[in-house]
Amino acid sequence: MSMQELKQKAWIYLENGTFLEANSFGANGTVVGEIVFNVSMSGYQEIMSDPSYAGQFVTFTAPEIGNVGVNAEDMESSAAHAKGMIVRKYQERYSNFRAEGSLADFLKEQNVMGICDIDTRYITKMLRTEGAMMMIASTEVSDKAELKKILETSPRIEDVNYIEQVSTKVSYKHTQSVYNDREFKYDEAPTPQANIVVLDFGVKTNILNELVAANIGVEVIPSSFDGDELVRRYNAKEIDGVFLSNGPGDPLVLKNEQREIKKLIDAKVPMFGICLGHQLLSIAHGYDTYKLKFGHHGGNQPVKNIKTGLVEITAQNHNYNVPENITEVAEVTHVNLFDNTIEGLKYNDAPIFSVQHHPESSPGPKESRYIFNEFLSLIKR
């Protein structure tokens, strides 16, 4: 069966009134989500399996998607969490020695929509001008008025606590690591120089790998954690610090998490946060986040390290940012050179620091991996 025969018609309606017709190569159905664009030139499987994309349709600016297939090793979590992907051209005929199947089959297995044969340049320019917005895509409904009605009566991304969907339900130890950019599993985990708890708001696998590679013992726990219990464990020297992971959605929705993190701050537990973790630390300190117009999504974002003066090319995936007045309680350590937004903080009166970008990459450049070793240095001090 040809690729054309495998495709079905798909219809898209955006909340600004844009109505588009395309083809579908993934799961069928009718799905509502927020649409964003990602400028990475590779790594579509890692992006689709990143829990931070829960609730979103990802428009890829790379014109050819699917050409390297998919494989189990490139998963950043146990499933694909994005609502769907939108691409200019889907390539069913993949060619890569690591490939274990096609992207289309993967999306169908994961019940994720794939939309192709559409002008992604037009969509990206529109989002850049008007900002990220809600949309609906369907292989079942072609009527514009009906799609509009469904979209208007559906919850917005800021109304949903996606953390509850993507966080682990049980605690577990993580011992897999990275070595010379090749993943491996220890037969027996090495003796760590420090032990931490990872608060799982939607953590990527490669973040855990990098923590272990920095000689840190990793225990991952659900987002429904008890701050008092973690403070007790820290005072009893059962753990040396806490890591706050990346994750999806609006951080202002996470009231319980904010309250429990505040207990850790008050107890001066050493902490390190990435992306959503970075934002939650800001909110718990009393500084609410705000939403960027279209967010930062991709693997080519220049960030300046204020301490060294060096520019790091970073991987990014966030729609929200910490406010400028957080300098009342923290020192800015990193700045995004595209828009001068804050990318890193070191808090003044506690052993806490955080970054907005993704030092673990996957996909993306690896220039910021040193940050995991800085966390080890912090908790050893």
Enzyme catalytic residues? 275, 358, 360
CA distance 309 to 306: 5
Reference 197, options 270, 294, 248; nearest CA is: 270
Which residues make Cβ contacts (< 8 Å) with residue 33, sequence separation at least 6?
55, 56, 57, 82, 83, 84, 134, 135, 157
Cα distances (Å, whole numbers) of residue 344 to 68, 191, 234, 295: 34, 30, 25, 16
Reference 347, options 302, 296, 284, 301; nearest CA is: 284
Rounded-to-10 torsion of CA 108, 160, 347, 322: 90
| SS3 (DSSP) at 146 | helix
CA distance 116 to 137: 12
- 377 burial (CB, 10 Å; 0-12 / 13-18 / 19+) is exposed
CA distance 275 to 316: 8
| SS3 (DSSP) at 153 | coil
Check if the beta carbon of residue 278 is closer than 8 Å to that of residue 298.
Answer: no
Hey, what are 138's tokens? Answer: 């369907």
Which residues make Cβ contacts (< 8 Å) with residue 179, sequence separation at least 6?
213
CA distance 59 to 37: 4
Cα-Cα-Cα-Cα dihedral sign, residues 103, 108, 112, 115: positive
| SS3 (DSSP) at 148 | helix
